[in-house]
């Protein structure tokens, strides 16, 4: 009788532990990035979070991160859409170079939230196309610089003109 009770207690303990850990994982999928992304362009990343790879998860807070080859990390929060388990993040490519991307599923209910790693993508230079950024002056500073140059030119021309000889 005592052996039977111990066996039943052990079986109950395993059943409870198995049930508690059964819900602790999720899969994350993400829409493909643009074919030729450039620095400054955006990607509407649709993230799908599924518990056990089947059941859409609602109420989680996933994020997507871009990780540069130098370790720089840019993270973007995803917002729920009208479709259960589907979230949308507006991802902006910060600079040209090689970037990998990761999705944090946000499924913390059972302590099983994970980072899901995806491939590396190559981001081209922005619309300038020169491969390097030239800082641009604000319009007001450019106007002020132009006015100062015009004044300097006018003063220089005035001094270069010969003066008439005094008349007696």
Tally of domains within the chain:
1
Q: What is the spatial distance between Cα 26 and Cα 37, in angstroms, rounded to a whole number?
A: 29
For position 6, what pLDDT does the model report?
A: 38
What is the predicted pLDDT for the residue at 148? 73
In a domain, 119, yes or no: yes
Whether 39 maps to a domain, the answer reads: yes
The pLDDT value recorded for residue 129 is 47
Does 78 reside within a domain? yes
CATH number of 40's domain: 2.60.40.10
Distance, CA of 53 to CA of 57 (rounded, Å) = 10
- Say what the pLDDT of residue 138 is: 62
Pairing of strands 115-123, 42-51: unpaired
Q: What is the dihedral of CA 6, 9, 13, 16, to 10 degrees?
A: 160
Position 35 in a domain: yes
- The parts of the chain modelled with pLDDT lower than 70 are 1-23, 128-142, 144-145, 152-164
Whole-structure pTM value: 0.63
| Rounded CA separation 89/74 (Å) | 12
- Beta-carbon contacts of 110 under 8 Å, excluding residues fewer than 6 positions away, are 20, 21, 23, 24
147 inside domain:
no
**Structure confidence at residue 147 (pLDDT):** 74
- Give the DSSP H/E element, type plus range, for residue 149: helix 139-160
d(CA 31, CA 1): 59
Q: What was the pLDDT predicted at 126?
A: 83
Residues of the domain holding 85: 24-123
């Amino acid at each position: 009788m005592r052996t039977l009770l111990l066996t039943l207690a052990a079986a109950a303990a395993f059943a409870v532990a198995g049930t508690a850990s059964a819900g602790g994982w999720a899969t994350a999928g993400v829409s493909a990035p643009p074919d030729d992304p450039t620095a400054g362009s955006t990607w509407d990343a649709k993230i799908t979070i599924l518990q056990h790879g089947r059941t859409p998860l609602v109420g989680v807070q996933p994020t997507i991160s871009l990780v540069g080859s130098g370790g720089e990390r840019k993270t973007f929060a995803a917002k729920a859409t009208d479709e259960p388990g589907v979230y949308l993040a507006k991802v902006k490519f910060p600079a040209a170079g090689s970037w990998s991307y990761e999705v944090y599923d946000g499924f913390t209910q059972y302590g099983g939230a994970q980072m899901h790693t995806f491939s590396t993508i190559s981001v081209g230079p922005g619309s300038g196309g020169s491969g390097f950024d030239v800082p641009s002056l604000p319009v007001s500073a450019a106007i002020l610089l132009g006015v100062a140059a015009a004044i300097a030119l006018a003063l220089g021309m005035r001094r270069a003109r010969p003066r008439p000889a005094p008349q007696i």
